[in-house]
Amino acid sequence: MDSHVLDDVIALAVKAGEAILEVYGSDDFEVVQKKDDSPVTAADLAAHLVLQAGLEVMLDGVPVLSEESDIPNFATRRQWKKYWIIDPLDGTKEFINRNGEFTVNIALIENCVPVLGVVHVPVTGVTYSGLGGQGAFKQEGNGPRTAIAVRSMADRGGADSPIEVVASRRHGAGAVDSLLERLSSQLGAVETCNMGSSLKLCLVAEGEADIYPRLAPTMEWDTAAAQAVVEAAGGVVLDVDLKPMRYNTKDDLLNPHFYVLGDQAFSWDELLV
């Protein structure tokens, strides 16, 4: 994969983020409930239009799957060896609550694996990116793009170096609580950070957290971009059977419950299975 493609995707994510901020900065914006009862705003749709137009011409013949478009049936999708999957505004509830924790997510999937991912945070201007074989990066605004990597679990669990667990602000609290108790009893000091959108995966990718257990539903467009970043940074995203999470393998686009793990050398299986 040409790194120039990653540059182009980052520029497109920033452009979509600017479209989102135009709506975010307005005094009022309408919130509509979709058929699945999830909210959508003019910002979701504006970002979708930017991304759809840009990605359709970026790689010849590569289709675009968006949360905000009609989803082709699996008979069609299973023919796709390579495709874009996007969440134009991941964290719509965070957007509505104006807490800034929402992102633009763009991923390229090849043979069910996310090989390129960009997660852009419009409010802060931070962009996370990852490209298989070339590493993961973080960029603040127009600043330099710096390499990021997951961190080791060696010596973690002490008072000065607690195990950092990142969790959803809204979903799966009960199951996560029991995991936290297990981690604490076997490994020592544990701290948690609650956050919205795909930023949770990015914290693991940049070595600011050790594990993100997601024990509640998500869709494939919620995770693909950040999974590419995590894996390019040396981490892994595994289902509850500790198998790598894959994409476009079945009728629906619902993810299994999963774990985002930084240090692959650590014996996570003894704690998680």
DSSP string of 87-111, one letter each residue: EEEE-HHHHHTT-S--EEEEEEEET
Choosing among 3.30.365.10, 3.40.50.720, 3.40.190.10, 3.30.540.10, the CATH entry for 3-147 is 3.30.540.10
Q: Which fold has domain 163-272?
A: D-Maltodextrin-Binding Protein; domain 2 (3.40.190)
Element (H, E) at 165: strand 163-168
Mean pLDDT of the chain: 93
For residue 172, name the pLDDT band (cuts at 50, 70, 90): low
Mean pLDDT of 54-76: 97
The tokens describing 167, both together, are 């969790």
**Greater model confidence, 128 or 98:** 128
pLDDT of residue 176: 86
Whether residue 137 contacts residue 130, with contact meaning beta carbons closer than 8 Å, is answered with yes
The CATH 3.30.540.10 domain(s) of the chain lie at 3-147
pLDDT of residue 86: 98
3-class SS at 191?
strand
The tokens describing 91, both together, are 């964290």
pLDDT digits (tens, 9 = 90+) for 178-208: 889 999 999 999 999 988 779 999 999 999 9
pLDDT digits (tens, 9 = 90+) for 113-167: 999 999 999 999 999 999 999 999 999 999 999 999 999 999 899 889 999 999 8
Listed in sequence order, the DSSP H helices in 97-219 are: 173-187, 199-205
Is the pLDDT reported for residue 28 higher than 80? no
pLDDT of residue 232: 98
pLDDT of residue 87: 97
The CATH 3.40.190.80 domain(s) of the chain lie at 163-272
d(CA 191, CA 184): 9
Is the pLDDT reported for residue 93 higher than 70? yes
| Category of 253 on φ-ψ map: left (φ > 0), alpha (ψ -120 to 50) or beta | alpha
The model's pTM: 0.95
For residue 169, name the pLDDT band (cuts at 50, 70, 90): low
